[in-house]
């Protein structure tokens, strides 16, 4: 949507429930088979260094995310620019945002979200994605994880709140611009590589810990909160409310992204439709489990979690059988 006073850039539905930087980029790129391999590489591949030795996996350029202190993973499907913000006034911030959106760039900028009414006083320096504006109404269209549901969505935020949020952020000297670009790819080669990545990912979940790649969390002692292998179910039960909802969010992210990969694989005959349907059932079970945990946490019912523990064990057993069937099917196809 584009006219003299209003520009609104198209975004896909985000498939991720945590990690805003990934949510921003995944929603810009989209989920068709042209882009799903890149998403698989970045959320299913980088946890294991063994994969980097596989001769058919081209990781060239993937260290670009570390250049110029760029916190975003490199994608061949996006133009990236890190631009300095020599802010002179509120009007200057608005001008920078409007000018770049008119050029079809999404803008990711760190702001102090305590200045946004929708966050109800919660204070955090946080990257939001600006995807449009209406200069007549003096509003920006801003994507983020908003309360009370923490669902990633687009909301209308007035100019004044955004400029205050930027100016009250100690790290407001730059922002990032992203714009989609067309890349020619060999679909058959990409699908074969996707099958390999998903298969090895499922093996790792079945027999290992599997920690999804996120450089920041590798530097912390709380790695246990970010595991998504089958062992994590037992660890969660041992210290249920010591984990926090982040562990459940990351677990759900892994299932959602794997399901999107499996959808593409089913389209190309790599798995059966029944396997895909069963995996969707797993995604729904994990989502229900996550939501139940959040409800119990909100109600402070730490002593009343027998139903959740039962559900966690049922989901673990269901997932174990399901991914074992998929792994066997994929290995049989490769022989």
Summarised one tens digit per residue, pLDDT across range 167-226 is 766 555 778 899 988 888 888 888 888 898 899 889 888 887 666 544 444 444 455 556
* Percent of residues, the chain, with pLDDT higher than 90: 27
Query: What is the tally of structural domains in the chain?
Result: 2
Contacts of 201 (CB under 8 A, 6+ apart): 40, 44, 45, 210, 258
Same domain? 107 vs 10: yes
93-152 per-position pLDDT tens digit: 889 899 999 999 999 988 888 788 887 767 777 888 999 999 999 999 998 887 777 778
- Give the mean pLDDT of the chain: 79
Identify whether residues 238 and 116 lie together within a single domain.
no
Q: 135, 152, 180: which is the final residue of a domain?
A: 180
| Domain-located, residue 310 | yes
Q: What is the mean pLDDT of residues 34-46?
A: 75
Q: Between the CA of residue 106 and those of 32, 35, 82, 241, what are the distances in Å?
A: 20, 18, 12, 37
Q: Which residue has the higher pLDDT, 153 or 2?
A: 153
**Residue 282: pLDDT over 90:** yes
Higher pLDDT, 55 or 304: 304
Distance (Å, whole) CA 295 – CA 301: 9
Provide the pLDDT for residue 200. Answer: 85
Same domain, yes or no, for 24 and 142? yes
pLDDT greater at residue 312 or residue 13: 312
> If you ran DSSP here, which 8-state letter would residue 172 be given?
-
pLDDT of residue 18 exceeding 80: no
Domain membership of residue 46 (yes or no) is no
Residues 125 and 238 in one domain: no
**Would the pLDDT of 79 be above 70?**
yes
- Examine the pLDDT at 254 and tell me if it is beyond 90: no
- pLDDT of 46 strictly over 60: no
Q: Are residues 130 and 13 both part of a single domain? A: yes
What's the CA gap between 158 and 156, in Å, rounded?
7
Q: Please tell me the distance from the alpha carbon of residue 260 to that of residue 253, in angstroms, as a whole number.
A: 11
Whether 63 is covered by a domain: the verdict is no
Q: Which of 19-23, 187-191, 309-313 has the lowest mean pLDDT?
A: 19-23
| Residues 88, 143 within the same domain | yes
123: Cα within 13 Å, side-chain hemisphere: 3
Q: Could you give the percent of the chain with pLDDT greater than 70?
A: 79
Tell me, what's the pLDDT at 261?
92
Query: What's the confidence (pLDDT) of residue 92?
Result: 85
From 130, 145, 180, the end of a domain falls on 180
pLDDT at 98: 93
For residue 223, being part of any structural domain is answered with yes
Cα radius of gyration (the chain): 21
Please tell me whether residues 164 and 284 are part of one structural domain.
no
For residues 262 and 124, state if they share a domain: no
Residue 118 belongs to a domain: yes
The pLDDT of residue 66: 42
- Does 165 lie in the same domain as 196? no
The pTM of the whole model exceeds 0.85: no
Question: How much is the pLDDT for 183?
Answer: 84
Q: Are residues 147 and 203 in the same domain?
A: no
For residues 191 and 174, membership in a common domain is answered with: no
Which whole number is the average pLDDT over 311-318? Answer: 94
Report the pLDDT value the prediction gives residue 82, as an integer from 0 to 100. 85
In a domain, 113, yes or no: yes
Please tell me which residue, 23 or 179, carries the higher pLDDT value: 179
Give the residue, 303 or 160, on which the prediction is more confident.
Answer: 160
More confident residue, 93 or 8: 8
Is the residue at 94 inside a domain?
A: yes
pLDDT at 177: 92
Assess whether 162 and 207 both reside in one domain.
Answer: no
Distance CA 314, CA 318 (A): 6
State the pLDDT at residue 147.
75
Q: For residue 249, what are the domain limits?
A: 187-334
Instruction: For residue 58, tell me if it sits in a domain.
Output: no
Domain end point (choices 135, 161, 180): 180
Number of other CB atoms surrounding residue 230 within 10 Å: 19
Element (H, E) at 78: strand 78-84
Asked if residues 124 and 137 have their Cβ atoms less than 8 Å apart, the reply is no
């Amino acid at each position: 949507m584009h006219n003299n006073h209003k520009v609104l850039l198209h975004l896909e539905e985000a498939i991720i429930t945590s990690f805003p930087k990934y949510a921003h980029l995944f929603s810009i790129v989209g989920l068709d088979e042209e882009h799903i391999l890149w998403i698989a590489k970045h959320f299913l591949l980088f946890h294991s260094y063994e994969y980097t030795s596989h001769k058919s996996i081209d990781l060239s350029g993937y260290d670009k995310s570390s250049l110029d202190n760029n916190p975003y993973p490199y994608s061949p499907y996006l133009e990236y620019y890190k631009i300095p913000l020599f802010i002179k006034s509120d009007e200057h911030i608005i001008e920078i945002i409007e000018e770049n959106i008119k050029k079809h760039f999404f803008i990711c900028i760190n702001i102090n979200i305590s200045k946004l009414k929708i966050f109800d006083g919660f204070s955090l320096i946080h990257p939001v994605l600006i995807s449009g504006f209406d200069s007549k109404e003096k509003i920006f269209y801003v994507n983020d994880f908003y309360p009370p549901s923490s669902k990633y969505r687009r909301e209308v935020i007035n100019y004044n709140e955004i400029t205050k949020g930027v100016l009250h952020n100690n790290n407001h000297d730059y922002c990032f611009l992203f714009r989609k670009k067309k890349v020619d790819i060999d679909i058959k080669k990409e699908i074969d590589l996707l099958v390999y990545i998903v298969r090895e990912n499922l093996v790792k979940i079945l027999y290992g810990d599997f920690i999804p790649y996120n450089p920041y969390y590798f530097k912390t002692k709380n790695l246990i909160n970010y595991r998504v292998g089958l062992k994590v179910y037992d660890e969660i039960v041992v210290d249920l409310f010591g984990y926090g909802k982040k562990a459940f969010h990351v677990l759900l992210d892994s299932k959602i992204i794997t399901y999107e990969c499996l959808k593409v694989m089913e389209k190309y005959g790599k798995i059966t439709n029944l396997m895909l349907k069963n995996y969707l059932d797993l995604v729904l079970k994990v989502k229900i489990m996550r939501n139940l945990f959040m409800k119990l946490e909100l109600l402070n019912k730490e002593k009343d979690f027998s139903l959740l523990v039962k559900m966690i064990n049922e989901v673990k057993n269901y997932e174990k059988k399901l991914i074992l069937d998929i792994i066997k099917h994929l290995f049989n196809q490769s022989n």
